[in-house]
Structure 1
């Protein structure tokens, strides 16, 4: 197999999202607008909240794509206008196909709000092709012990298969867009190559430690994303440092369709964006009971903490 080259390395930008939490955005930033079919990757935390300080994302709409939340530390409560409801704990994944439109809220669960703690995870936005943009919304809440996990090279490599496949092991999550989403942990002095067809776009995001990637062993460290070129049939990963390297590998078949995006909506034309706003204002995406309480809880948490923590 021939390893792909690294097209570019991007350091994530800090920003404030949701009700006032700090994220590091790699894909979806001014440096790397998208890697088709991936629209955005946010890394939130690790942030330590004192009791009463934790914030989330109160009620807001989406249309035309899928949102994926993956929790590393802490816990959060999901509710949406299509009766989706679930608590996410470390290692859990929430895969929400917004489709024709849904309103959802992701808030700290009661224990985190009452007792405080550390919150960390990711939110990924995956585009939908035109034929799926107006499908009925769907919510998948996958618990950590349901996610396939394999160990290689005498347990020096651990891989969680969130979407897609490795060898003959497939993820349990059903996706509308053909993608691979792997959480890979490399101990020191280890190398690994993941076979990947040239049909796939993709990138790596390093969230712990540092590593070397691609045919030229390009270095990257925590908070950096590496977009890879489409010139080989595998992705090479290496960690020769003294500390473990943890990373996300994301790859997908590009959709190659026009994109119009504004805030929480991603469609194919500006007219469709305008229609999405009109439908949301008309209540066609639904609502969730308790919206005012969630907004007030967020306001109080920000007031108590003195503003976004860690910016």
Structure 2
């Protein structure tokens, strides 16, 4: 799991430990294990938010951990063309390569440590596929995709996307140097990540060394979610056990503690965690397939607009599938 690393973590700015006399540790309210499934044309995923109430996730909607899978030649898979409206997709690649194209003519390639932040807004068509060379050679594929809701007032904005290169990510170290902290978006200890968000939020990927304990300040008006991408350890002052594929929803407070077990599971050297927090939107959510709106009528309108071609047309893309895939009964596509 390479993402972005540094040779010498001691040169990075340190995150000060919140004052124990003033900071209130966030305690785990629930721990859930992500169900497994398949997405797009058949790549394996863990549905990280499976079984969690949307009210606890707000402003987040959906999170897939894609892989980790080691493909043989000819095996890598992606998604067909499909629409989105009403939210943002955030695709973060830890290992492997993914290519994106959309109905506005945009696109790009993201690989180890890169992030693609797509704002669907009023509507867009897009496709995500492994490049031809990866299909031919095979290789490791591991990433995640997060869906971030948009407030009602911003669901009809023009689509846009941000390609955030891995070297743009803000790199920090925990107070004792035992954890490498990558700030992708939002503010952590007064330092900001490169992602520009409509919904106030923080997105962090941390690598915690075996036996290390990471204590981070956290915006008290945000919710707090900790998902384990690899390895095992504990969360909270209570040291609640947490391992790969599990999500902890934390309660109120302004500090988060994550500790890695001294001995990991053999598949990874470190504990890899994704930390998410955002200001809850607290608006009604109507969600069907690739559309996240405020009312069922708006979702029906999204399907009608898609079927009428008002969400865009598929541009000419070399060697890309041309079939559109979406039905009203579909689970989230990506």
Query: What is the TM-score of this pair, normalised by structure 2?
Result: 0.85
Pairwise CA distance, 1:290: 4.3
Corresponding residue number in structure 1 for 2:284 = 258
Q: Choose the corresponding residue for 1:241, options 244, 257, 262.
A: 262
Corresponding residue number in structure 2 for 1:24 = 46
Corresponding residue number in structure 2 for 1:308 = none
Distance 2:79 2:96 in 1: 15
Corresponding residue number in structure 2 for 1:305 = none
Higher strand share: 1
Gaps of 5+ in 1: 298-311
Corresponding residue number in structure 2 for 1:8 = 30
Distance 2:179 2:318 in 1: 46
Corresponding residue number in structure 2 for 1:306 = none
Pairwise CA distance, 1:192: 1.9
Q: Is this contact kept in 1: 2:73–2:137, CA < 8 A?
A: yes
1:109-149 Cα offsets, whole Å, 9 max, x none, are 12211111010100000000001001000110111111111
Q: Is this contact kept in 1: 2:32–2:51, CA < 8 A?
A: no
Pairwise CA distance, 1:31: 4.3
Corresponding residue number in structure 1 for 2:163 = 141
Say which SS state the counterpart of residue 157 (structure 2) adopts: coil
Structural RMSD (CA) = 1.7
Q: Is this contact kept in 1: 2:80–2:322, CA < 8 A?
A: no
Gaps of 5+ in 2: 1-22, 265-269, 324-334
Say which SS state the counterpart of residue 54 (structure 1) adopts: coil
Q: Is this contact kept in 2: 1:42–1:124, CA < 8 A?
A: yes
Q: Is this contact kept in 1: 2:174–2:215, CA < 8 A?
A: no
Distance 2:140 2:196 in 1: 30
Query: What is the TM-score of this pair, normalised by structure 1?
Result: 0.91
Q: Is this contact kept in 1: 2:174–2:214, CA < 8 A?
A: no
Corresponding residue number in structure 2 for 1:108 = 130
Q: Is this contact kept in 2: 1:58–1:291, CA < 8 A?
A: no
Pairwise CA distance, 1:168: 2.6
Say which SS state the counterpart of residue 201 (structure 1) adopts: coil
Distance 2:24 2:195 in 1: 29
Say which SS state the counterpart of residue 294 (structure 1) adopts: coil
Corresponding residue number in structure 2 for 1:81 = 103
Return 31-40 or 135-144, whichever deviates more. 31-40
Pairwise CA distance, 1:154: 5.2
- Say if 1:130 and 1:201 are closer, same or farther in 2 by CA, change over 3 A: same
Residue 160 of structure 1 pairs with residue 182 of structure 2: yes
Residue 188 of structure 1 pairs with residue 214 of structure 2: no
Corresponding residue number in structure 1 for 2:93 = 71
Corresponding residue number in structure 1 for 2:298 = 272
Distance 1:151 1:138 in 2: 32
Aligned residues between the structures: 295
